Amino acid sequence: MNNLMERNFSRRGRYWALASALLAEVCLARSASAQAAFAADSAVTRAQQAYTAALGTQSVLYDGAEYVDYTSPGTRGHQFFGGPEVQVGNVTYRGGTFLQVPLRYDIVRDQPVLLYPGQAAALMLVPAKVANFSLGSHRFVRVVRDSTVASDLPTGFYELLADGPVRLLARHQKRVAQTIISQNLALEYRQTDAVYLRTATTTAEVSDLKELVALLPDHQAEVQHYAKQQRLSFAPANRAASAEQALTYYYSLRP
């Protein structure tokens, strides 16, 4: 009798140990599942927080007034630099740099324009808050008129063609002109470009090689020889590119 009771207790002990082990495994599995779910929820939460923070940072761009197209119906051309299509660029605004934003540059009004994300609406960036912006490979900087510099440039945006002690800048502008097309009077946007050299003490417009070389503090003969060797043209259509090439060569000569 005693032996039978001992065997029953032994079996019960093994059953209890097995049940305890199974229960422990279930608890561990549930704990691991809960931890995984918590980790997933935390990852989602962090991603949402990062997105919200990024959106909040970007939102400082959208503090300007709405941009309304003022072009009269039937006017040929457009008022934008490069093309009427929205271009991807970067902008430094209110001290922060924002990458890959949809931009256009109205060169009639000297106004960078930002497309509001997901909508057809456009906003004007506040010019005084824009330090610089880019459209593709073209970089524009805001120049503030310096009364201490002789013949300094009016405040506005200029394309920065070459940077350094001597800066090469281009001013792109458009105006609406009256033209005759098929014996009918029509309005048409026409672009003009001016190139400037700006130093610490003076600013001057450059229309030919002679004017460019005269503003360089040194290596004038070398630059003049290089420009003639390369057959650089300072005709209006080629002036900016030729001046940029000449000044780039000038900086290659300096230590």
Task: Answer yes or no: are the C-beta atoms of 82 and 148 closer than 8 Å.
Answer: no
CB-based contacts of 219: which residues, under 8 Å, 6+ apart?
250, 253, 254
Average pLDDT over residues 59-88: 92
Tell which of 15, 32, 59 closes a domain: 59
Percent of the chain with pLDDT over 70: 76
Give the residue from 156, 245, 161, 253 showing the smallest Cα distance to 209: 245
**CA–CA distance, 156 with 154 (Å, rounded to integer):** 6
Split at pLDDT 50, 70, 90, the class of 7 is very low
The structure's pTM equals 0.74
Split at pLDDT 50, 70, 90, the class of 41 is low
Asked whether residue 49 falls in the same domain as residue 81, the answer is no
**CA–CA distance, 108 with 172 (Å, rounded to integer):** 9
Asked whether residue 80 falls in the same domain as residue 164, the answer is yes
pLDDT for res 13: 44
Q: Write the pLDDT tens digit of every residue in 105-164.
A: 999 999 999 988 777 789 999 999 999 999 999 999 999 988 777 667 999 999 999 999
Work out how many domains the chain is built from and give that number.
2
Beta strands of the chain (E only): which ranges? 87-93, 96-106, 111-115, 122-124, 130-135, 138-143, 156-162, 167-181, 184-198, 203-206
The reply to whether 240 falls in a domain is no
- Joined together, the tokens standing for residue 145 give 């008129």
Three-state secondary structure call for residue 142: strand
Ramachandran bin of 126, using left for φ above 0, alpha for ψ from -120 to 50, beta for the remaining angles: beta
* Statement: residue 235 has pLDDT above 60: yes
Tell which of 162, 190, 206 closes a domain: 206
Asked whether residue 32 falls in the same domain as residue 127, the answer is no
Q: Write the pLDDT tens digit of every residue in 176-217.
A: 998 877 778 889 999 999 999 998 888 899 999 999 999 998
Neighbouring C-beta atoms of residue 158, cutoff 10 Å = 23
Asked whether residue 122 falls in the same domain as residue 154, the answer is yes
User: What is the domain range of residue 197?
Assistant: 66-206
- Joined together, the tokens standing for residue 133 give 């912006």
The reply to whether 232 falls in a domain is no
Asked whether residue 86 falls in the same domain as residue 145, the answer is yes
Give the residue from 207, 189, 187, 188 showing the smallest Cα distance to 197: 207
Asked whether residue 53 falls in the same domain as residue 75, the answer is no
